[in-house]
Structure 1
Amino acid sequence: MIEQIYKISTGNEKAVEKVIQDDNVHYIHMVFNKGEGLPEHFSNSNVYMTVVRGMLSIGLDDQEIHKYEAGTVLKIPVDTKMNVKNLDEPVLELIVVKAPAPVK
């Protein structure tokens, strides 16, 4: 078999799954219920964030929180302060790709 196969969760429970973490890319699957999210942090690579379902509430650097619906892809530069939350009722599901893979 040439391909490698990975699985992600399909439920509504909180999840931060580091699906692929190799020298090329980090591929992360996240699920957050209302009021859940990530601790505030700085991006350690270029981040490509896809909103799969729900509504993403995100504050970047000193900007106010912006909201993005399903089907939106954000490109966030390295060293950007990020505050990722689900402030809405529907479950938020994200796919996050970090490229190039962080070295930190």
Structure 2
Amino acid sequence: MIEQIHEMSTGDEKAIERVIQDENIHYLHMVFNKEEGLPEHFSNSNVYMTVVRGTLSIGLNDQEVHQYDKGTLLKIPVNTKMNVKNLSKSVLELIVVKAPAPLK
């Protein structure tokens, strides 16, 4: 078999899954319910964030919080302060790709 197979959760429970972490990319799958999210942090690589379902509420650097619906892809540069939350009642599901892969 040439391909590698990776699986992700398909439920509505909170999840932060590191699906692929290699020298090329980090591919993460995240699911957040209302009021859940990530701790505020700085991006350690270029971040490509796809909203698969729900509405993403995100504050970047000193900007006010913006909201993005499913089908939106955000490109966020390295060293950007990020505040990722689900402030809506529906489940938020994200695919996050970090490229190039962070060194740490």
Confirm or deny that 1:86 pairs with 2:86: yes
- State the Cα distance separating 1:64 from its structure 2 match: 0.1
Question: How much does 1:59 deviate?
Answer: 0.1
Q: Provide the rounded CA distance (Å) in 1 between the counterparts of 2:74 and 2:103.
A: 22
| Structure 2 match to 1:99 | 99
Q: Could you tell me which amino acid in structure 2 is paired with residue 39 of structure 1?
A: P
The answer for unaligned runs of 5 or more in structure 1 is: none
Whole-Å separation in 2 of the counterparts to 1:95 and 1:24: 16
Q: What do you get for the CA RMSD once the two structures are aligned?
A: 0.2
- The Cα offsets for residues 13-59 of structure 1, whole Å up to 9 and x where unpaired, read as 00000000000000000000000000000000000000000000000
Does structure 1 residue 33 correspond to structure 2 residue 54? no
TM-score, normalisation: structure 1 = 1.00
Match of 2:50 in 1: 50
Deviations 1:53-89 (A, max 9, x none): 0000000000000000000000000000000000000
**CA–CA separation in structure 2 for the residues paired with 1:72 and 1:58:** 13
The alignment-based identity, stated in percent, is 79
Paired residue type of 1:60: L
Alignment of structure 1 residues 7-22 onto 2, 5 Å = 7-22=7-22
- Unmatched segments (≥5 aa) in structure 2: none
What is the letter of the counterpart of residue 101 of structure 1? Answer: A
Q: What secondary structure is seen at the aligned counterpart in 2 of 1:96?
A: strand
Q: Which residue of 1 aligns with 2:60?
A: 60
CA distance in 1: counterparts of 2:18 and 2:89, whole angstroms: 25
